[in-house]
């Protein structure tokens, strides 16, 4: 019998290009997943529009309507839990999540970040790589912890930085590689190959010594 598609919830605050890539891979049969909800802290973000185009339930919560960060996180993840995801993917979600929501979901909560972690956590990663004179740049998928872009890294993709690159051209060249990195990383979860224990990534039951390279 065919394996049931992995139920995925996606959190996003921006244009939603990674979400679109996952939906395309799912529709083509390349990735055995079903996106069961898209969640955002911004009602006008592109990711919610993409969800609507694909008939995926979309939800937006305004952080300013909550008394505290913790209250927002609790409400957000109550909504996420209602769609019963097997994996939660942060794809351009611009908030740090609290320990209260991350801890119980440590095995099923991942993030994609446009840098070769541990380099360049936070924003403006492309410009920072150029300013540092780096010869290569990339993206990382990691398990989330309640600290900015600091969880153990599952996989990375790398591209060379060209002499005439600026932040925009570097970002544009990286983006398709970023999409494939996310798809291939999610595939590991559909195959039940990946886990997280004591701050380390496990693959096929063994500690992953260095991030996978896709």
- Please give the structure tokens belonging to residue 5: 């598609």
Please give the order of strands across the beta sheet that includes 58-60.
Answer: 58-60, 33-40, 6-11, 87-91, 109-113, 136-143, 153-160, 212-213
Whether 124 is catalytic: no
Other C-beta atoms lying within 10 Å of the C-beta of residue 175: 15
Q: What is the DSSP string of 176-189?
A: HHHHHHHHHHHHHH
For residue 2, the Cα-to-chain-centroid distance in whole angstroms is 26
Q: What is the pLDDT of residues 130-142, one digit of tens each?
A: 999 999 999 999 9
Please list, in sequence order, all residues whose beta carbon lies within 8 angstroms of the beta carbon of residue 74, skipping any fewer than 6 positions away. Answer: 100, 101
Domains of the chain (ranges, CATH numbers): 6-213 (3.40.50.170)
- Predicted model pTM: 0.96
Which pLDDT tens digit goes with each residue over 1-10? 356 899 999 9
Task: Say whether pLDDT at 202 is over 70.
Answer: yes
The pLDDT, as a whole number, for residue 4 is 86
Angle (CA) 134 141 188, round 5°: 135
Mean pLDDT score across all residues of the chain:
96
E-strand ranges in 106-163 read 109-113, 136-143, 153-160
Helix residue ranges, H only, 103-192: 125-131, 167-190
Residue 27 pLDDT greater than 60, yes or no: yes
- 115/158 Cα distance (integer angstroms): 9
Catalytic residue among 113, 126, 137, 179: 113
What pLDDT score does 3 carry?
64
10 C-beta neighbours (distance < 10 Å), count: 29
What's the confidence (pLDDT) of residue 95? 93
β-bridge pairing 153-160 and 136-143: antiparallel
- Helix then strand then coil, % of the chain, to nearest 5: 35, 25, 40
Phi first, then psi: give them for residue 2, nearest 5 degrees: -65, 145
Residue 52 structure tokens? 């609507």
Neighbours of 154 (CB within 10 A): 25
Span 34-85, pLDDT tens digits: 999 999 999 999 999 999 999 999 999 999 999 999 999 999 999 999 999 9
List Cα–Cα distances, 163 to 119, 125, 134, 159, in angstroms.
20, 17, 11, 13
pLDDT tens track for 84-124: 999 999 999 999 999 999 999 999 999 999 999 999 999 99
Per-residue pLDDT at 1: 37
Average pLDDT of the residues in 173-188: 98
């Amino acid at each position: 019998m065919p394996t049931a598609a992995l139920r995925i919830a996606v959190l996003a605050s921006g244009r939603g290009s990674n979400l679109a890539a996952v939906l395309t891979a799912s529709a083509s049969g390349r990735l055995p997943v079903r996106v069961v909800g898209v969640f955002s802290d911004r009602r006008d973000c592109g990711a919610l529009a993409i969800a609507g185009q694909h008939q995926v339930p979309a939800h937006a919560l305004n952080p300013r309507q909550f008394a505290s960060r913790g209250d927002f996180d609790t409400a957000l993840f109550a909504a996420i839990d209602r769609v019963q995801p097997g994996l939660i993917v942060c794809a351009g979600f611009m908030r740090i999540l609290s320990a209260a929501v991350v801890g119980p979901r440590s095995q099923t909560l991942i993030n994609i970040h446009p840098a070769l972690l541990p380099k360049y956590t936070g924003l403006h990663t492309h410009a920072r790589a150029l300013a540092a004179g780096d010869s290569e740049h990339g993206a990382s998928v990691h398990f989330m912890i309640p600290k900015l872009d600091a969880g153990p890294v599952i996989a990375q993709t790398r591209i060379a930085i060209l002499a005439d690159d600026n932040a925009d051209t570097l970002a544009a060249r990286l983006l398709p590689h970023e999409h494939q990195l996310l798809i291939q990383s999610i595939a590991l979860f559909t195959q039940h190959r990946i886990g997280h224990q004591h701050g380390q990534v496990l693959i096929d039951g063994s500690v992953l010594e260095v991030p996978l390279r896709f």
